[in-house]
Structure 1
C-alpha cells in the first residue's frame, strides 16, 4: 500500500530543490545586461536603410546615436524607441482620438453652463 504522506514529502523535496535552483539563477542574473551596441552598417541593416541614409539622419540629428572620435554607434533599444515614436496611427485610432477630444470639449462646455452668447 502506498503512503500518501511519503508522496507529499517527496514532492515537497522536489519543489524545494527547484526553488533553490531558481534562487541560484536569480542571484546570478542580477548582473546588469549591457545594451546591444551597433555600428553604422549594423544599424542600417537593422533599420533596413542604406548606410548613406543613416549618415544623413545622423548629420540631421534625427537618429539617436553616440559619437566617439570618428566612430558612430547606436544603441539598439534607442533605435527601436525611435521607430516606435514615428509610428503612424490607423484611421480608426485617429477617429477614436478625435471622438475623445470632442467628448472632452463637450463635457467642459456643459460644466461651464453651455456656450456663452457673444
Structure 2
C-alpha cells in the first residue's frame, strides 16, 4: 500500500507545475514609454525650444514634476494623429452629407 503522504506530495507537485505553466502565458500590460524634453524633440524631429513653446501654450500633452517635463509616447502619438488634414474628397463627402440632412435650407 502506498504512503498517502507521497500521493499528496506528488499531486501537489503536479498542481504547482500546472500553475507555473498558466503563469508563463500571462503578459503584463505594456508600460507606456516616457519621454523627456530631448527625447520628444528627437521623436518629433523638432527643436527643444519648439517643444517648450508648445508646452507653455498647452498645445502638446505633457506632465510636469517640479521643473521637469515628461511626455507619454501614446499621448504624443494621439496628439499627432488628431491633426489630420481633410482631403478634398473628405470635404466634399461632408458637404454632400450636410446638404442631404438639411435640404430645406438650400431651396
Q: Is this a same-fold pair by TM over 0.5?
A: yes
Structure 2 unmatched runs, 5+: 1-20
Cα distance in 2, alignment partners of residues 23 and 49 from structure 1 = 46
Q: Which residues of structure 1 form unaligned runs of 5+?
A: 1-21, 110-114
- Structure-1 residue corresponding to 2:75: 78
Q: TM-score, normalised by structure 1?
A: 0.66
Aligned in 2, Cα 1:104/1:23: closer, same or farther, shift over 3 Å? Answer: farther
Q: Shift of the alpha carbon at 1:35?
A: 0.5
SS of 1:67's partner is: strand
For residues 35 and 23 of structure 2, the distance between their equivalents in structure 1, rounded to whole angstroms, comes to: 32
TM-score by length of 2: 0.72
Task: Count matched residues.
Answer: 85
Matched, 1:57 2:60: no
- Over aligned residues, Cα RMSD in angstroms? 1.8
The Cα of 1:56 is off from its aligned counterpart by 0.4
Which aligned segments of 4 or more residues in structure 1 are displaced greater than 3 angstroms?
22-26
Q: Hey, what's the Cα distance between the residues in 2 that align with 1:102 and 1:25?
A: 57
Structure 2 residue aligned with 1:41: 38
Q: Does residue 1:101 correspond to 2:90, yes or no? A: no
